[in-house]
Amino acid sequence: MFIFKKVLLCLSWLSIDVVIGATAGMYYFAEVLHVQLDWPPYFLLSLAVWCIYNLDHILDSQSQPDLNSPRRQFHHRNRKTLVFILAILTVLGVFGGIWWFGWGKELQLTLGLGVLIGLVRLLVWKLGKGWMKEISIALFYVVGIAWLPYLWANPLDRSDEFFLFFAIYLILALLNLWILSYLDVEEDRQAGFFSATNAFAPDKLRRLIFYVIGILAFASILTLFFLTSFYKIFGWLLLSMILVHHWAFSNQKLDSDQKRLWMEWAFSIPWLLLLF
């Protein structure tokens, strides 16, 4: 069990769980929109997510290398290897995108989205308030995983149901980041990083988290009653992801690492759609 936990922690430090969750999210929205995606978009999304998240962790570790955080210590200790891998995967992603998309509308819009994400993240980092960090990350995460399915969808399939699921998914991603900020409040304070805990006292943030969990669960349950049968499975999957977050966050028997693992892997639940 100890070895299994260490493996899961290493996968988490390398953001592999985030990559698997992001591709599961892309598959989720592709199914909602009746879009069939081949493997290259999932591969390119995996490269992009891995590079973005690990670059963020490397920069964090450089600013506070002595902080008592296993994740930051791992990235600081292995920064040269990780930067080398990151550079290779970035080049592979750029050429892979050109090879797969060509210089067409999809690639141009995707590059434009990437530039916009970079500029907003820079502005939030330099000028933003604490609460802006989580909102911007959650927004661009969900926009990123729904981007290609939305671009390639038939306009008739861009239904109200899609936007409803998009909104619930977005708030769930934001909830996940708020919970992680709550769990990392002491580390972030020592490192001088701004987050939701700069805008809300920990007790208020905890209450807000439970309120949002309740609202999300209620909204997901409503989809089971009022949407057509095709969409019910998507409501069930979202409800499952929400309940995993509630269980992990409220479970006093789990330490912070275990809570993080459960919540990050919860975003892989949409892969269950492969069974249907």
pLDDT at 200: 73
- Terminal Cα distance for the chain, rounded: 32
Do 220 and 239 touch, CB atoms closer than 8 A? yes
Distances (CA, A) of 19 to 49, 181, 223, 250, 268: 6, 20, 27, 25, 9
pLDDT at 59: 78
Q: Which of 16, 13, 10, 24 has the alpha carbon at shortest distance from 240?
A: 24
CA atoms within 13 A on the CB side of 7: 4
Question: Cα 86 vs. chain centroid, distance in angstroms?
Answer: 19
pLDDT at 164: 97
pLDDT at 239: 98
What is the residue type of 235?
G
In sequence order, the 6+-apart residues with CB closer than 8 A to the CB of 225 are none
Interval 4-18: pLDDT, tens: 777 888 888 889 999
Indicate whether this model's pTM tops 0.85: yes
pLDDT at 9: 83
What mean pLDDT, rounded, does the chain reach? 87
pLDDT at 146: 96
Q: What is the pLDDT along the chain (276 residues), one digit of tens a residue?
A: 567 777 888 888 889 999 999 999 999 999 999 999 999 999 999 999 998 888 888 877 776 655 667 777 888 888 889 999 999 999 998 888 888 887 777 778 877 877 887 777 777 666 656 667 788 889 989 999 999 999 999 999 999 999 999 999 999 999 999 999 888 776 656 555 556 666 677 788 899 999 999 999 999 999 999 999 999 999 999 999 999 999 999 999 998 889 999 999 999 999 999 998
Break the chain into its structural domains and give their ranges: 2-275
Distances (CA, A) of 222 to 56, 219, 234, 235, 238: 37, 5, 12, 8, 12
pLDDT at 187: 64
Strands (E), the chain: none
Interval 162-216: pLDDT, tens: 999 999 999 999 999 999 988 877 665 655 555 666 667 778 889 999 999 999 9
Domain 2-275 has CATH 1.10.600: yes
